């Protein structure tokens, strides 16, 4: 991807016209949600005419859609540098700042627009909405100081919660998750029913208690003749999660699984996904594993829907409890001391980093973490006596990608991500003896008519249009 090029010398009319044509072609790809193709053409347009702010702003929104927040921020800033009055570029940069949790910087952009364009009602509205978010976060931080010594889990009074006579859903047995409970729960969720809050809270409290005793790096032992499955991002796509179990069998002591982060956000059935996965974790603690992803965090949940979904289906208190639980999730797993699995990458920011084809290291396209090349992967594996690494975190057309000479594998298990991308989903199976990765791919299955991001921050969605 082109950097913010130095602008030197005049630009010919021929290049200006060629750039405009490339931009129009890129716009068509953007409309089809083919964002990588759009970015490639916007980049070519910029190479022809690096003085046009629109090209940078358009590439910025395409990068926002791909969650390349670092690139989006850089492009929006370049567009502003080229045209200080270009309102849309400020909106793009504000969206990038918000995606990175930098809400005060987003607010500054809106404030600037309202000052230079005092009659712009849209800018005033966006400034007001962003200001509300900043104040709300400040308020939440302020009251959190008073609660610092109080765990949400410890403050829950399960005895005060009664099970109403009309509730006919799955029930814990003597307060414990059983196989019957989980299988009943999955069928209950397929019909868009809601687990009783008493059982939901009990699951969260029990999961937290278990996770608190676990190390951040969990060792997994798989017998030579045993099968082991690794899944990538699920992102609230509950019906696709059910399809994984249909294709590969339910988790059990003889069919162990590792889900590698990003269980929630984006998809609007995140509550159903996480309670199903946590139930299996409690049922088979030594044969069902869960790594933390970058979406098991407060800022991402606040922006991409999970916090809104939990608050809608249950309470904001439960949303707070989820944040508390997520803080205890393991960061990585090591299979038979030979295969390391983490959500993002082997460098700093385990939950965010990505591989790159070039040698060495580079700043992350996401604006968080860094990118690492095949030489970095190879050195890391040699130093730690590992065969290869598995990570997730990125959409892949085939549901997986083998990079770095087979040493760095990406697996992504949410097909047709956000109902728009058209990618396949995939999971990896291996046996304990050779740990050779085998890939199963699958298409998305139908789901009820609830759109992705239905519970996401509406203001953020508006910014990203």
Annotated catalytic residues are 295
Q: Are 130 and 123 in contact (CB under 8 A)?
A: no
How far apart, in Å, do the first and last CA atoms of the chain sit? 23
Strand partners, 173: 176
Distance CA 314, CA 305 (A): 14
Structure tokens belonging to residue 350:
């385990």
How far is the CA of 42 from the CAs of 5, 26, 57, 91, 396, in angstroms?
A: 13, 6, 10, 19, 21
**Is beta strand 257-259 parallel, antiparallel or unpaired with respect to 227-231?**
parallel
- 157 contacts: CB under 8 Å, gap ≥ 6: none
**Is beta strand 339-342 parallel, antiparallel or unpaired with respect to 332-335?**
antiparallel
Distance CA 392, CA 232 (A): 5
**Is beta strand 361-363 parallel, antiparallel or unpaired with respect to 388-391?**
unpaired
Instruction: Report which of 112, 74, 114 is spatially closest to residue 93, judged by C-alpha positions.
Output: 74
Residues 98, 100, 102, 106, CA torsion sign: negative
Q: Using the structure block, give the residue that is written with the tokens 């190879």.
A: 378
Q: Please spell the DSSP secondary structure of 291-338, one letter per residue.
A: ---TTSSHHHHHHHSHHHHHHHHS-HHHHHHHHHHHTTS-SEEEETTT
Q: Please spell the DSSP secondary structure of 215-284, one letter per residue.
A: -SEEEE---TT-EEEEE-B-TT-HHHHHHHHHHH---BTTB-EEE-S--SSSSTTHHHHHHHHHHHHHHS
Instruction: Report which of 346, 352, 393, 356 is spatially closest to residue 369, judged by C-alpha positions.
Output: 352
For 66, left (φ over 0), alpha (ψ -120 to 50), or beta? alpha
Structure tokens belonging to residue 71:
């690139």
314: number of Cβ within 10 Å:
18
């Amino acid at each position: 991807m082109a950097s913010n090029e130095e602008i030197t010398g005049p630009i010919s009319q021929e290049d200006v016209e060629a750039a405009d044509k490339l931009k129009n072609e890129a716009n068509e790809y953007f409309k089809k949600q083919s964002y990588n193709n759009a970015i490639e053409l916007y980049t070519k347009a910029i190479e022809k005419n690096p003085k046009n702010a629109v090209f940078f702003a358009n590439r910025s929104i395409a990068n926002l859609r791909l969650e390349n927040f670092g690139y989006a921020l850089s492009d929006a800033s370049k567009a502003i540098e080229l045209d200080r009055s270009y309102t849309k570029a400020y909106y793009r940069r504000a969206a990038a700042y918000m995606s990175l949790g930098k809400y005060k910087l987003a607010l500054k952009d809106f404030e600037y627009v309202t000052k230079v364009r005092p009659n712009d009602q849209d800018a005033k509205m966006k400034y007001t909405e962003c200001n509300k978010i900043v104040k709300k976060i400040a308020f939440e931080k302020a009251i959190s100081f008073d609660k610092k010594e109080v765990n949400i889990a410890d403050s829950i009074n399960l005895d005060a919660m009664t099970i109403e006579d009309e509730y006919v859903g799955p029930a814990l047995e003597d307060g414990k998750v059983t196989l019957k409970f989980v299988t009943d729960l999955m069928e209950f969720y397929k019909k868009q029913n809601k687990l009783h809050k008493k059982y939901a809270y009990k699951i969260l409290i029990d999961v937290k208690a278990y996770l608190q005793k676990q190390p951040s790096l969990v060792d997994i032992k798989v017998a030579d003749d045993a099968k082991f499955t690794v899944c990538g991002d699920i992102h609230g796509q509950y019906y696709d999660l059910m399809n994984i179990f249909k294709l590969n069998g339910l988790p059990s002591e003889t069919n162990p699984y590792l889900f590698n982060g990003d269980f929630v956000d984006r998809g609007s059935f995140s509550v159903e996904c996480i309670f199903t996965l946590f139930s299996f974790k409690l049922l088979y603690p030594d044969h069902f594993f869960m790594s933390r992803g970058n979406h098991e965090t407060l800022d991402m949940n606040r922006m991409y829907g999970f916090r809104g979904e939990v608050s809608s289906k249950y309470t904001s208190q439960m949303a707070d409890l989820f944040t508390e639980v997520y803080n205890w999730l393991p960061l990585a797993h090591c299979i038979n001391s030979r295969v390391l699995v983490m959500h993002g990458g082997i460098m700093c920011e385990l939950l965010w980093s990505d591989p790159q084809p070039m040698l060495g290291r580079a700043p992350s396209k996401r604006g968080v973490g860094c990118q690492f090349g095949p030489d970095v992967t190879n050195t890391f594996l040699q130093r730690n006596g590992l065969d290869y690494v598995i990570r997730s975190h990125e959409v892949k057309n085939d549901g997986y990608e083998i990079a770095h000479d087979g040493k760095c594998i990406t697996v992504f298990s949410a097909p047709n991500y956000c109902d728009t991308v058209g990618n396949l989903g995939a999971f990896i199976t291996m046996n304990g003896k050779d740990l050779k990765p085998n890939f199963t791919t699958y298409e998305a299955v139908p789901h009820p008519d609830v759109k992705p991001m239905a519970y996401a921050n509406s203001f953020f969605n508006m910014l990203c249009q």
